[in-house]
Chain A
């Protein structure tokens, strides 16, 4: 009897885990697809799971029946010495083959459907860095990091590569994942059908801070998206080499203003050798080939997260990050050429917070 109760406990346990596993709030889940690509993938998966459950129940039931039905005692007579049964063996070779055909056909269909990259889509270039994601919008002229904005209902194609080691860009709610390489582009595509913020993270082990390489898909209405691109274009390396014509209708900021002092600190502190920043001489830099390249900071204050999405973009976090990035995120390529003074940090934090 002990065996029976043990198995029963286990079965109940698995059921509880199963049921609980389906409820709750899982923002990074693959099981609640919100885009066309992810839905096709989900259909294949659910089809396979159904067959797997049938096979699981039949095989485990046969095993349990065998265990309980054929229990013997040491002094029982020797059972029939059966060596096999050609008929039975042929049948249980064919049945799995048939089931596999039911899985293989939708699989191959979906492989070819997902391999067809739409031609009428908005293109976004995705670039993996140790340990943050860069997004470039060639048509819209936007260069940003960590948060990938897309308009709802719009087909997007991601052309993806890496600046250093392999990573894998993962959009669990809308598509799936693809690895990124230096020498060739890989693609993913999807249409998001729900507005909101959706987390993802790098899926290919890429070194020390692999766990801290987050990304978000920010799905917004076409109007919000248009407003966002308009703001991001100002001083973008992809627009007019980052040069912004001075606005003569407003007076120039005084030399002791946050902006001017911040720009000076940005240059003096060495930030400029890895980060593009509107208003500085290197605003147009894309830092291609520089494996220490950091995100374009021209609009850093418009982003919700810092340091590859590791933490919220707040004043306190920014201060902590600038004080000792290697302490906060060991091995990060954010290597200060020299420790910054408290004054410099205060100036830079105030300045960066104005970069909307």
Chain B
């Protein structure tokens, strides 16, 4: 980025390196990297929690962990993986890729983008700070009422959870507005909606889901907060409240949340498969509409998480049928991915391995999903390890495989050097085998009577060896991710010898038309788009690979100034919410003051 030095008469020359430059950055690429690095660290923490869980369960009646510690760990594992790992990993890709893929210089609201990140990281740190007080959340990531009431959870554990999630929700909502507006408004000339890369489509649908689903959990959490802090009784039977209200609100958010987690990986896979098959995505329109249909139906199926509450035969039937209906657009996606491979010329590079692994494993998760879409069968399976197996095939076999594939695919673009192919493939095989060893036996454990969220199980139920295999598998997963970090380290050390060209994979989308890593302004000139897969069209016209794009002087390109007000505002908002838990009204008010001060200065800051 040395060539993009620029001067502004009315602003101090922004420094390009150092801590301060990261704290004040509004560059979507830097914010993307911040998201990615933070999310990966949280992913490692969540993974460590999972390993401790597995170590406890490797033998029956183990005393490695106390019941309290175990309950904190499984709650934090779920909460961390959903809100602090997979969602922000998606946010990393939204940030980094959406502007590049649609031919824009930044997101629509760069400072709001920085604000989202700061709120997210403060929420994540706050949630994990609970461990320092030995009061990590311990009522499950689903936090069912009335266990979460002050009467049954008097400690700070649930407070950390409620306030942490509220903070994180603000980050998600702000980001969702931002990306939605970015995709609608900032597309390059000619980039019609039906010409957008599939990742951008899936991202846009995800933003709509976020915008509609997060207000629901926000309301649910506000009820819980006031129940706990101010003695209201939304979820308390003795006060005329009903714990089932929480379940409805939570799952009206919770099921769309599943698609918030999995649609971006669908997008990743839909980018990788065509490039490494050297063939366009099969059934583009069907892919778009099936994604939209999945999202739409996703709001009408929440009660499939509640069959065991006894909703009655009519509700059970309706929610069962809508749930089964979702299998159809999901099936269409899987068939279209295979259709993309079919007749292609498969280049067996690392990203493709993970995309293929994604399909193979996601199918299993989809099929077990159909099994508990049937309420009678679900009455046996719900709250057992069968369900744990199901969603780990979807979220680990699905989302995480796609994310790792995406990491190998876009790493050269983001950092300017290639990751090692050989190590990546070895990691794939370890991950693929270990993943199945860890999660496949869970189907049997569940069907043979092992409930979820239990800190131990008794000998003699036939569950011992299944659990032992699962634990061995989880160690394999630890090896796989250690290898990933080794790969990053080794590749970074050798980056000079292995620089990434602009277009290492024969890509189809605009991000491959600019240098790796991109310059701060992304595109020296905003490209004009004439169809889908614009880079392939350009290469075909040119009759072969394009010349390596030059780094240019972008000093005349207008970019937003760095700003620390988003960080200040984020800190104010977090303090305001934390006041509900510690310090009370004075802390709330200090937070509000900082929040307003930050927002005010932000609003009247010269934007360069």
Contact A71 B348 (CB under 8 A): yes
In the complex, B278 has a CB within 8 A of chain A: yes
Nearest CB of A to B142, in Å: 8
Contact A178 B308 (CB under 8 A): yes
Q: B147 contacts which chain A residues (CB < 8 A)?
A: 165-166, 205-207
Q: B151 contacts which chain A residues (CB < 8 A)?
A: 291
Q: What is the chain A residue whose CB lies nearest that of B144?
A: A166
- Knowing A28-B449, A111-B320 are in contact, say whether A13-B371 is a contact too (CB < 8 A): no
Nearest CB of B to A207, in Å: 6
In the complex, B338 has a CB within 8 A of chain A: yes
Q: B447 contacts which chain A residues (CB < 8 A)?
A: 29-31
B490-526 interface with A by 8 A CB criterion = none
Contact A82 B440 (CB under 8 A): no
- Knowing A79-B278, A183-B242 are in contact, say whether A204-B432 is a contact too (CB < 8 A): no
Contact of A89 among B139, B140, B336, B457 (CB under 8 A): B336
Assign chain B's interface to a size class. 35 or more
In the complex, B347 has a CB within 8 A of chain A: yes
Contact B374 A44 (CB under 8 A): yes
In the complex, A181 has a CB within 8 A of chain B: yes
Q: B313 contacts which chain A residues (CB < 8 A)?
A: 111-112, 115
In the complex, B453 has a CB within 8 A of chain A: yes
In the complex, B249 has a CB within 8 A of chain A: no
Contact of B327 among A45, A96, A130, A201 (CB under 8 A): A96
Q: B339 contacts which chain A residues (CB < 8 A)?
A: 84-85, 88
Report how far A24 CA is from B277 CA in the complex, Å: 45
In the complex, B344 has a CB within 8 A of chain A: yes
In the complex, A209 has a CB within 8 A of chain B: yes
Contact B364 A56 (CB under 8 A): yes
Nearest CB of B to A8, in Å: 12
Q: B67 contacts which chain A residues (CB < 8 A)?
A: 208-209, 211-212, 330-331
- Knowing A81-B280, A96-B327, A96-B328 are in contact, say whether A107-B461 is a contact too (CB < 8 A): no
Q: What is the chain B residue whose CB lies nearest that of A183?
A: B237
Report how far A83 CA is from B339 CA in the complex, Å: 9
Q: B308 contacts which chain A residues (CB < 8 A)?
A: 168, 176-179, 203-204
In the complex, B146 has a CB within 8 A of chain A: yes
Q: B437 contacts which chain A residues (CB < 8 A)?
A: 13
Q: A353 contacts which chain B residues (CB < 8 A)?
A: none
Contact A111 B317 (CB under 8 A): yes
In the complex, A294 has a CB within 8 A of chain B: no
In the complex, B466 has a CB within 8 A of chain A: yes
In the complex, B156 has a CB within 8 A of chain A: no
In the complex, B12 has a CB within 8 A of chain A: no
Report how far A209 CA is from B466 CA in the complex, Å: 23
- Tally of chain A residues near chain B (CB < 8 A): 98
Q: What is the chain B residue whose CB lies nearest that of A30?
A: B380
State the majority secondary structure of interface residues on A: mixed
Q: A9 contacts which chain B residues (CB < 8 A)?
A: 433
Report how far A132 CA is from B278 CA in the complex, Å: 61
Q: A164 contacts which chain B residues (CB < 8 A)?
A: 152
Q: A103 contacts which chain B residues (CB < 8 A)?
A: 324, 370, 374
- Knowing A31-B447, A31-B448, A205-B140 are in contact, say whether A72-B344 is a contact too (CB < 8 A): yes
Nearest CB of B to A224, in Å: 24
Report how far A92 CA is from B375 CA in the complex, Å: 26
In the complex, A49 has a CB within 8 A of chain B: yes
Q: Mark A57-99, 1 if CB is under 8 A from B, else 0.
A: 0011011001100111110111111111100110011001100
Report how far A76 CA is from B360 CA in the complex, Å: 26
Contact B376 A80 (CB under 8 A): no
Choose among B377, B433, B436 the residue with the greatest number of A CB atoms under 10 Å from its CB. B377
Q: A203 contacts which chain B residues (CB < 8 A)?
A: 308, 382-384, 451-452
In the complex, A244 has a CB within 8 A of chain B: no
Q: What is the chain B residue whose CB lies nearest that of A69?
A: B342
Report how far A331 CA is from B138 CA in the complex, Å: 14
Contact of A168 among B139, B146, B383 (CB under 8 A): B383
Report how far A187 CA is from B312 CA in the complex, Å: 11
Report how far A199 CA is from B347 CA in the complex, Å: 53
Which A residues are closer than 8 A to B by beta carbons?
6, 9-10, 13-14, 17, 20-21, 24-31, 38, 40-41, 44-45, 48-49, 52, 55-56, 59-60, 62-63, 66-67, 70-74, 76-85, 88-89, 92-93, 96-97, 100, 103-104, 107-108, 110-112, 114-115, 130, 164-166, 168, 170, 172, 175-179, 181-183, 186-187, 199-212, 214, 291, 330-331
Give the 8 A-B residue pairs with the shortest CB-CB distance, closest first.
Answer: A72-B345, A28-B449, A176-B379, A211-B454, A21-B444, A26-B462, A66-B341, A84-B283
A-B contact pairs, 12 of them (CB 8 A): A13-B437, A28-B461, A30-B448, A44-B377, A55-B363, A60-B360, A71-B346, A81-B279, A130-B152, A201-B449, A203-B382, A205-B147
Excluding A21-B441, A70-B341, A330-B68, 16 further A-B contacts by CB distance (< 8 Å) are A28-B449, A28-B461, A41-B377, A82-B279, A84-B286, A85-B339, A88-B339, A93-B328, A96-B331, A97-B328, A100-B325, A103-B374, A115-B313, A168-B308, A210-B453, A211-B454
